[in-house]
Amino acid sequence: MISLDFIQGNITYDDLSLLEDSAIEDQVHNLKEDMLQVVYPDGLLLDVGWFPSFDVKGHFQIKVVKNHDWDSPVLKFTAQSIRALIKQLLLTQSQLMQR
């Protein structure tokens, strides 16, 4: 399981921690659009999903939205692997905490 101990916001949904730090191909059955949501101060919400769901050729998508404005994300990133995702989550969270 992936540890999310580094998350400083309020985790409101988490299926991301169910993944293993191993090859995506071995766990494609767990890759879906809704994997993690974290609430931060000032109406910021961090959302992580896999697009397209259950497709080994997909990617993680990280979005930060303010006041639930999904049409205009404040930040948007992608990652191809779990390690890249964790690295990007750390960077994204750092940016959110500086706001």
Q: Is residue 79 part of a domain?
A: yes
15 found inside a domain: yes
In a domain, 1, yes or no: no
Structural tokens at position 50 = 């896999």
**What's the confidence (pLDDT) of residue 23?**
86
Enter the tokens of residue 38.
């974290």
Averaged pLDDT, 91-96: 90
Domain that holds residue 20: 10-97
Asked whether the CA dihedral 78, 80, 82, 86 is positive or negative, the reply is: negative
Q: Is 89 helix (H, G, I), strand (E, B) or coil?
A: helix
With cut-offs at 50, 70 and 90, classify the pLDDT of residue 71.
very high
pLDDT for res 99: 72
Number of structural domains in the chain = 1
- Kindly state whether residue 5 falls inside one of the protein's structural domains: no
Position 98 pLDDT exceeds 90: no
Q: Does any domain span residue 90? A: yes
Q: 61 with 50: CB under 8 angstroms?
A: yes
| pTM for the predicted model, two decimal places | 0.93
Whether 4 is covered by a domain: the verdict is no
